[in-house]
Structure 1
Amino acid sequence: MPSSSKQAACSSSRSFSHYAKNLADQIVMLLVQTLRSVAEAAILYAGYCARLIGEMLRLTETTARTILKKLGRPIENEVIAAVFRDSHVQLLEQIARGNRYTDVNSLALMISRRIRRITNWERGDLIGKGSFASVYRGSNEDGSFFAAKSVSLSEHKHLCHLENEIAILKRLDHENIIQCYGTQKDGEMLYIFLELVSHGTLEQAYKNCRFKESQVSHYTRQILQGLRYLHSCKVVHGDVKCANILVTESGRVKLADFGLSKSMEDHSQSSKLGLGSSFWMAPEVATLERGGYGFPSDIWSLGCTVTEMSTRKYPHYNARDAFNLHRSIRSGEGPAVPDYLSDTLKDFITQCLQPHPNQRPTAANLLAHRFVNESSCPQPDLTELLLLF
């Protein structure tokens, strides 16, 4: 072959190689970016397809590495290496292999929390007002919405509750816990940015319609999952009741209002945060004996909350006055449990309302109870309830 032909062939080969390398880079980047976007979006709804996401991620990585290896390109400096070194993607793959729905959704919260940035936001309508803070609808510059809880910096007692809520929520990451996006000081106001749950509280829901026991079971199981996670983080909620539990349009519940919560690792909190709501208060909290606030006190409040959902009435609703209410609670008397409830539900409530805290089961124990056990409780039809909102 003439030298000119050889040179032309070599030049053509180099051009093709250069073109192939550039094309490979583009394909690799597109594959990774597409799969990562799919994973981050789908994971919010895809506990059941987590294994598929994991397989897609592994296939993407293998394909990308094979292309680069055949082209003799160093993997370490490529975008594929940077992406797959990312801890969130690696963790996503590990969790997807296990196909665990709760862990996958917990990771989704972590990804969402990293993505959500509250900047140049606008304060909208007042959507709620509690004992120490006001909550507004906020809109972010990216078009997303959130809840902005605010308190005046001059209200030192109220500020203490909000600062406590911030300190607690920044440690938590669970699908049944309200999500915190961050905080901001604006003039004389302190804001905490929270996940917006537009369908209100369980209290508002049961006032609109009577829950079936399957619905009570569905909600109770999720509350227990949230409490089990909280307690594993050494956190006591301190004010479990329907008014502090939010419900999404899909029927998922989220524990909220952590202003009275307590970290069991911080022994300085109890004296300055006050007590929870009287109707749901455990005997040891009312008497400040046997340890006061603790994980068992949340279980007592859960029993009162389940009674509240089932009867559409506050626990101890028939107490004549505050004095008689506190006397009943201090004596270890729980709220009345109607006879018309099923034996399984009554047994669940009774276990939660044991007078002595040491006799109450843990949240993990209660998740095995027949009333909330998925194998024995049918999935509730939430359509009728959600149409009321």
Structure 2
Amino acid sequence: MSNISPNDRFQRNITVWEKGELLGCGSFGSVYEGISGDGFFFAIKEVSLLDQESRGSESISQLEQEIGLLSGFEHENIVQYYGTEKDESNLYIFLELVTKGSLLSLYQRYNLKDSQVSSYTRQILHGLKYLHDKDVVHRDIKCANILVDASGSVKLADFGLAKVTKFNDVKSCKGTAFWMAPEVVNLKNQGYGPPADIWSLGCTVLEMLTRKVPYSPLEWMQALYRIGKGEPPTVPDSLSKDARDFILQCLQMHLWL
């Protein structure tokens, strides 16, 4: 048996496996479905080790950091890590298979209602609390990095930019421009901490409900300028009062600085 724990939601030891269909591609490489020797399905993140340019080595070091963090996480709202393998040309990272894709692909297919967004947001907050209690800042919360399974369970994913931090200690400008908090853009001497993820969560809820990236239709440099001045994205009056109130609570820069 490949199970190394009675709680096999969290523990797997995948030794015999076969790569299946392509699920998606990213800057780091490709994600495939995989099947283990005992019929368990999982996701395989495949990264080429042959790309020796600076971009390649940078993405591999990011992935090594991601593996180091993920291997220590056990939470129902964080994508589960099952192991790593390497051959002459590729690094393979084995992860929980989350069948319905990202929240980005979800809102492109469906008009998400407040009740659905509320359920997803509550679960994102559970995942973020778990990370923040471990002094980890995700730093790249957005719909594209949050996965949903067929039961409606939400999983935080893509920990390539996550950092272990002491509160208000991270000093690098990493993340995706439209979802960045002002303190990340400004990078004043005090750095930033977990509240930067809460600003990004507000932007993510806004994205789910409007089906647009925050600060749309600005170019990313224009957006960075506005964010740096502490200007939140526009929250349309057409959203419900509860949704607007929640988003605006997340986008309170002065609470964090």
Q: Corresponding residue for 1:230? A: 131
Q: Distance in 2 between matches of 1:280 and 1:215?
A: 21
Q: From 19, 22, 40, give the equivalent of 1:126.
A: 22
Q: Deviations over 1:166-217 (max 9, x none)?
A: 0110111100000000111111211110000111111111111111111111
Matched residue SS, 1:338 = coil
Q: Distance in 2 between matches of 1:311 and 1:267?
A: 31
Q: Corresponding residue for 2:250? A: 352
With a CA cutoff of 8 Å and minimum separation of 6, indicate the structure with the bigger relative contact order. Answer: 2
Q: Corresponding residue for 1:318? A: 217
Number of aligned residue pairs? 249
Q: Does 1:284 align with 2:183?
A: yes
1:231-250 equivalences under 5 Å are 231-250=132-151
Q: From 175, 178, 181, give the equivalent of 2:76.
A: 175
Q: Distance in 2 between matches of 1:128 and 1:248?
A: 16
Q: Does 1:137 align with 2:36?
A: no
1:183/1:191 contact within 8 Å kept: yes
Matched residue SS, 1:220 = helix
Runs of 4+ in 1 over 4 A off after TM superposition: 265-271
Cα drift, residue 266 of structure 1:
11
Q: Corresponding residue for 1:146? A: 42
Q: From 233, 239, 257, give the equivalent of 1:341.
A: 239
In 2 relative to 1, CA 269–302 (structure 1 residues): closer, same or farther, beyond 3 Å?
Answer: closer
TM-score by length of 2: 0.90
1:297/1:357 contact within 8 Å kept: no
Q: Deviations over 1:330-371 (max 9, x none)?
A: 011111101011222211111100123527xxxxxxxxxxxx
Matched residue SS, 1:172 = coil
Q: Corresponding residue for 2:85? A: 184
Cα drift, residue 267 of structure 1:
11
Q: From 86, 89, 99, give the equivalent of 1:198.
A: 99
Q: Distance in 2 between matches of 1:317 and 1:341?
A: 16
Q: Corresponding residue for 1:300? A: 199
Cα drift, residue 265 of structure 1:
5.1
Q: Does 1:328 align with 2:229?
A: no
Cα drift, residue 159 of structure 1:
0.2
1:262/1:270 contact within 8 Å kept: no
In 2 relative to 1, CA 357–182 (structure 1 residues): closer, same or farther, beyond 3 Å?
Answer: farther
In 2 relative to 1, CA 171–189 (structure 1 residues): closer, same or farther, beyond 3 Å?
Answer: same
Instruction: Output the amino acid matched with 1:353.
Output: L
2:20/2:32 contact within 8 Å kept: yes
In 2 relative to 1, CA 355–112 (structure 1 residues): closer, same or farther, beyond 3 Å?
Answer: closer
Q: Distance in 1 between matches of 2:171 and 2:91?
A: 23
Q: Corresponding residue for 1:221? A: 122
Percent identity between the two aligned chains: 54
Structure with the greater alpha carbon radius of gyration = 1
Q: Distance in 2 between matches of 1:349 and 1:257?
A: 23
Q: Which runs of 5 or more structure 1 residues have no equivalent in the other structure?
A: 1-39, 41-87, 90-107, 360-389
Instruction: Output the amino acid matched with 1:117.
Output: N
TM-score by length of 1: 0.61
Instruction: Output the amino acid matched with 1:147.
Output: A
Q: Distance in 2 between matches of 1:267 and 1:182?
A: 31
Cα drift, residue 269 of structure 1:
8.0
In 2 relative to 1, CA 268–299 (structure 1 residues): closer, same or farther, beyond 3 Å?
Answer: closer
Q: Deviations over 1:25-82 (max 9, x none)?
A: xxxxxxxxxxxxxxx9xxxxxxxxxxxxxxxxxxxxxxxxxxxxxxxxxxxxxxxxxx
For the aligned residue pairs, the C-alpha RMSD in angstroms reads 2.2
Cα drift, residue 152 of structure 1:
2.3
User: If each structure's helix is expressed as a fraction of its own residues, which one has the higher value?
Assistant: 1
Deviates more, 1:123-132 or 1:222-231: 123-132
Q: Distance in 1 between matches of 2:189 and 2:127?
A: 24
Q: Deviations over 1:292-339 (max 9, x none)?
A: 4410110000000000011111001121x2331111010111111010
Q: Distance in 2 between matches of 1:290 and 1:310?
A: 35
2:46/2:91 contact within 8 Å kept: yes
Instruction: Output the amino acid matched with 2:187.
Output: L
Instruction: Output the amino acid matched with 1:299.
Output: I
Q: Distance in 2 between matches of 1:141 and 1:303?
A: 42
Q: Deviations over 1:201-239 (max 9, x none)?
A: 111111111111111111100000000111001111110
Q: Distance in 2 between matches of 1:181 and 1:133?
A: 18
